[in-house]
Amino acid sequence: MKLVNVPLLKPADEPILAGRLAGRRAFVTALEAVPPITEPTLVLLNFGRVDYATSSFLAELVLPLRDHLQRQPSYVVVANLGDMVREEIEEFLRRSGEAILACKLSAGKKVSNVELLGRLDDKLHETLKLVQLKGEASAAELHAESSDAKSIGPTAWNNRLTTLVAKNLLIETSQGRAKKYRPVLEIA
């Protein structure tokens, strides 16, 4: 998968990201930093060197960018979070009932320490774990292998998978008429 690193700080910038207006500016800057996307692309919002980011800043950047880029084969992930930034993102995601992937990005552009931040309801979390365990799955496969196959139909599995795709946690690929799903990144 192609990788686009979007640093949120320039070398001379202050390490504090605060306010809705600054968040909107960062959203526009991030959009400008992302080249035209024609293949699956990991868009890493790189918080390296950021000491603190307010919820109001994050509310204007993180989820709006994820939702805006959703029409393209792109997956927004937050990277290189300091403790205070991580805490603020976690709280922001909890309040909004959302989740996003986070990772470390090395200077050599190697992704590691992938984790899920925020909150997923139990059924979505279970579905994500099942797909991760299988590596790739369809709604029909999950339905057939489910212990609740009689009470949970393929449509419910499909709805869960579609929700996880919208949250940038799974990649959807078409194989003929069937759709398969796989994790964007393997969660440690």
Give the span between the Cα atoms of 129 and 172, in whole angstroms: 16
Please check whether the domain covering 2-118 is classified as CATH 3.40.50: no
Name the token pair of 182. Answer: 């796989």
**pLDDT tens digits for 2-25?**
999 999 999 899 999 999 999 999
| φ, ψ dihedrals at 24, nearest 5° | -65, -40
Stretch among 19-23, 47-51, 139-143, 165-169 having the lowest mean pLDDT: 139-143
What residue ranges of the chain are covered by domains with CATH 3.30.750?
2-118
For residue 3, list its beta bridge partners.
42
What residue ranges of the chain are covered by domains with CATH 1.10.10.10?
122-183
3-class secondary-structure state, position 73 = coil
Average pLDDT over residues 109-121: 96
DSSP string over 142-171 = HHHH-TTTTTS-HHHHHHHHHHHHHTTSEE
Contact assessment for residue 111 and residue 104, using Cβ atoms and an 8 Å cutoff = yes
Please check whether the domain covering 122-183 is classified as CATH 3.90.1150.10: no
Contact assessment for residue 105 and residue 111, using Cβ atoms and an 8 Å cutoff = yes
pTM for the full model? 0.93
**pLDDT tens digits for 23-78?**
999 999 999 999 999 999 999 999 999 999 999 999 999 999 999 999 889 999 99
